[in-house]
Amino acid sequence: MRISVPTEVKNNEYRVALTPSGVHDLVRSGHEVVVQAGAGAGSSMPDAEYVDAGALRVDDPAEVWGRAELVMKVKEPIASEYAHFRDDLTLFTYLHLAADRPLTERLIASGMTAIAYETVQLAGGGLPLLAPMSEVAGRLAPLVGAHTLMRSQGGLGLLMSGVPGTRPARVTVIGGGVAGANAAVVASGMGADVTIYDTNIARLRMLDDHFGGRVKTAASNPMDLGRAVVDSDLVIGSVLIPGARAPKLVTSDMVERMRPGSVLVDIAVDQGGCFEDTHPTTHDAPTFPVHDTVFYCVANMPGAVPNTSTSALTNATLPYARAIAANGWRAAMTKDGALAAGLNITGGSVVNPGVAAAHDLPLTPLADVLRPLGRPATDRPDRAQPAGPGPPDPR
């Protein structure tokens, strides 16, 4: 298969979809891998390493896209890349379509196949391609939160750990999944007073055992969560419904009642955010004021540490890329239900329930898309099904 890796063009996105070792793995299996010149430079992975690994180095992005059967990226395509879409192309990347109607419409119109890293889902509910970036974003959140709490950054001037005779920062983490647990690890390690809120009591029980009392856990409900938010110095939002828009759990009224200079970091911003006042920001301008607080809502947080992020992402995506390259996406998905859950759009049809629900679009059943060629579809007069998001899976 012909696989292309374009240079990421989103603001301050320094990650790349494959490391040189990942390229070498695919080339050894007989595939052609095209890497755009400079694609790995931001991750401290120079062109020479890709060429040594067997990649073809190409300067022109149109040629990179044009030669591909499979395009592997990190972030969703932006408007300047839409012209490269075509119906015989497969795209494998983070998409977060529930929060991006323009991209959803362009993918539908193009007829191409779009597979989202963030909706590849194991039978037990795990998200293997989201997990590594959730780990990175979770560990970054307390760091950027601590920085933003400095008075020079608009915060209330509070040191996360405090010093003897002063109180540490009160940190509320919403969502005890991968990102939330990693945020709690770092925040507690910095000496903060940390509480994780989640609706999954079994998950809270596991976290309580894991942290051994260093982090508090609490069952999430609107009243208790509201009180905790108002009393927090730093709130980290890390709630996810795979493929769907994140629920708005922190209201503007809660934020208005927080101490001036308090900080809120929304890890869920890619999926629309779990704070009412969230809107995406960039590493160039990461924060904005809401009432008297400071919001940090960078949509590609792991892009700040691209060397680590690129390596972690390739470790996770490479087995799935191998399967797609060796068998084609349809056959690979027929064999692997986890990969099949990653299919969002193909042939002008929306296959992911969360995306369909977010944009009020008809849903085509996955089984109809993956049925063997020549086998008739179901005998229903309209194969579109009512859309609805899957069960919550806080990250």
Q: Which tokens is 45 given?
A: 């992975």
Distance between CA 310 and CA 43 in Å, rounded?
Answer: 7
96 is catalytic: yes
DSSP 174-240: E--SHHHHHHHHHHHHTT-EEEEEES-HHHHHHHHHHHTTSSEEEE--HHHHHHHHHT-SEEEE---
**Catalytic entry in 25, 198, 233, 270:** 270
Query: Measured at the alpha carbon of residue 387, what is the angle toward residues 384 and 391, in degrees to the nearest 5?
Result: 140
Q: Are 65 and 88 in contact (CB under 8 A)?
A: no
| 237 phi, psi to nearest 5 deg | -95, 120
Residues 6+ apart with CB under 8 A from 257: 230
Q: Which two tokens stand for residue 335?
A: 């064999």
- Three-state DSSP at 280 gives coil
CA 346 to CA 363: how far, in whole Å?
11
Strands 343-346 and 349-350: antiparallel
Choice among 31, 96, 198, 266 that is catalytic:
96
Whether 47 contacts 40, CB under 8 Å: yes
Contact 197, 228 (CB under 8 A): yes
Distance between CA atoms of residues 160 and 149, nearest Å: 8
Chain position carrying tokens 């809401």: 290
According to DSSP, residue 132 is labeled H
How many CA atoms within 13 Å lie on the side-chain side of 210? 14
Residue 64, both tokens:
């990179």
Confirm whether 210 is a catalytic residue.
no
Residues designated catalytic: 96, 270
